[in-house]
């Protein structure tokens, strides 16, 4: 049973990435919804470990790219190499041609590299010269950002951010999780040895995606999604305070993302229907990087999650 295989995978990942259950679940949501993830959090919170563990359990190639200011687009996409023995140019594929790609500190890459990533993430293809090369059918980018150090970074433009399905904020683990991490690092975590590492074929993932898309969503829930999205574009209908905090609402891409993610969340929860709670849970990672806050709101230190809290309280699900 496909659902049981994903449950086993989730259990295994949670045993290897201690104290980050939300990160693990959202990784699986992105895998089911066929989208990319932007993870923001201080160093050392198992962001890289999580995607490596996921890659180990999936039939596909994994590559980590450390983004730096001197990175060139060709370092990512690949380039044409001249072969003296034949007198022809041959394309040598770059690290982007892998099923799972970890883009570490993506905001340290210059605009040209970010533009190359945009084409790959949006269209699952890479253009080199006059030739366009398709990327693998299973293609997931997990990008990380360090929210603390901003020197020498190139903030991602709105068009690039919009290509990410989810934006996750990773926080520090609690005391019990920290203790278990300590024991796991010494190879003494209880129960870890009893959890066998599962392996998912790509066909299993594609079948799971179809099942998640086929989940029943009532018209009322569909309209709830649309009303939430429209509230970001027309906040004056709900609150004058919200009007001054939002510079621009989200695009229809956010509507599609919220629909797919709510379905994936319901499927992972073992249900064959979507509830308003699924939509509310996924609203935060789907919308927080797409909302464009006004200068006044930023100056007051207002966070996107605060805006989403207000939207959820004002827009009824009935």
Q: Is residue 262 part of a domain?
A: yes
Q: Would you call 297 helix, strand, or coil by DSSP?
A: helix
Based on the fold, state whether residues 164 and 249 are members of the same structural domain.
no
Report yes or no on 172 lying in a domain: yes
Q: Are residues 145 and 228 part of one domain?
A: no
Question: Do residues 272 and 169 both lie within one domain?
Answer: no
Would you give the end-to-end CA distance of the chain in angstroms? 34
Per-residue pLDDT reduced to its tens digit, 200-219: 999 999 999 999 999 999 99
CATH number of the structural domain spanning residue 282: 1.10.8.80
188 and 87 in a common domain: yes
Residues 127 and 229 reside in one and the same domain: no
- What lies within 8 Å, CB to CB, of 303 at 6+ separation is none
Query: What pLDDT score was predicted for residue 172?
Result: 87
Residues 187 and 252 in one domain: no
| Residue 130 shares a structural domain with residue 240 | no
Under the banding of pLDDT at 50, 70 and 90, the label for residue 182 is confident
In a domain, 105, yes or no: yes
Tell whether 210 is covered by a domain.
Answer: no
* pLDDT at site 115: 81
Query: Model's pTM, two decimal places?
Result: 0.89
Among 69, 40, 212, 39, CA closest to 141: 39
Cα angle, residue 116 at apex, residues 114 and 118 outer, rounded to 5°? 70
Token look-up 């066909």 returns 203
**Per residue in 271-289, pLDDT tens?**
999 999 999 999 999 999 9
How far is it, in rounded angstroms, from Cα 201 to Cα 2?
Answer: 11
Q: Which long-range contacts (CB under 8 A, 24 or more apart) does 228-235 make?
A: 228/258, 228/279, 228/283, 228/311, 228/312, 228/315, 229/254, 229/255, 229/258, 231/311, 231/314, 231/315, 232/287, 232/291, 232/311
Residues 184, 224: one domain?
A: no
CATH of the domain at 116: 3.40.50.300
How far CA 23 is from CA of 14, 37, 58, 306, in Å, comes to 9, 10, 17, 20
**How many structural domains are present in the chain?**
2
Same domain, 137 and 186: yes
Share of the chain above pLDDT 90, in %: 41
Average pLDDT estimate for 158-180: 87
**Containing domain of residue 288, as a range?**
215-314
* 164 and 280 share one domain: no
d(CA 257, CA 37): 12
More confident residue, 122 or 148: 122
Q: At what angle do helices 2-16 and 21-33 cross, to 10 degrees?
A: 140
pLDDT tens digits along 115-133: 888 888 888 998 887 888 9
* CA dist., res. 102 & res. 65, Å (int): 6
In a domain, 204, yes or no: no
Q: Which of 97, 100, 153, 103 is nearest to 120 (CA)?
A: 97
Q: Do residues 154 and 250 both lie within one domain?
A: no
- Asked if 127 and 35 sit in the same domain, the reply is yes
Residue 37 lies inside a defined structural domain of this protein: yes
């Amino acid at each position: 049973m496909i659902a049981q295989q994903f449950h086993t995978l989730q259990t295994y990942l949670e045993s290897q990435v201690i104290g980050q259950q939300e990160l693990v679940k959202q990784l699986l949501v992105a895998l089911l919804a066929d989208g990319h993830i932007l993870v923001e959090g201080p160093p050392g919170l198992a962001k890289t470990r999580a995607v490596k563990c996921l890659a180990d359990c999936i039939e596909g190639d994994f590559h980590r790219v450390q983004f730096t200011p001197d990175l060139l687009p060709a370092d990512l996409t690949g380039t044409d190499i001249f072969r003296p023995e034949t007198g022809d140019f041959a394309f040598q594929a770059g690290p982007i041609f892998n099923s799972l790609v970890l883009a570490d500190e993506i905001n340290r890459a210059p605009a040209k590299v970010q533009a190359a990533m945009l084409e790959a993430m949006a269209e699952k293809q890479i253009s080199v010269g006059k030739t366009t090369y398709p990327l693998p059918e299973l293609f997931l980018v997990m990008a990380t950002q360090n929210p603390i150090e901003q020197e020498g970074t190139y903030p991602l433009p709105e068009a690039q951010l919009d290509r990410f399905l989810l934006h996750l904020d990773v926080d520090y683990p609690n005391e019990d999780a920290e203790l278990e991490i300590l024991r796991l690092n010494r190879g003494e975590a209880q129960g870890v040895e009893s959890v066998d590492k599962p392996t998912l074929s790509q066909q299993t993932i594609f079948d799971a995606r179809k099942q998640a898309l086929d989940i029943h969503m009532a018209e009322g829930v569909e309209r709830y999604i649309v009303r939430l999205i429209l509230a970001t574009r027309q906040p004056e209908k709900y609150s004058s305070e919200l009007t001054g905090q939002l510079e621009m609402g989200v695009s229809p891409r956010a509507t599609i993302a919220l629909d797919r993610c709510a379905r994936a969340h319901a499927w992972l929860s073992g249900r064959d229907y979507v509830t308003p709670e699924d939509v509310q849970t996924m609203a935060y990672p789907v919308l927080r990087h797409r909302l464009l806050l006004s200068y006044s709101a930023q100056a007051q230190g207002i966070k996107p999650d605060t805006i989403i809290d207000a939207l959820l309280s004002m827009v009824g699900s009935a």
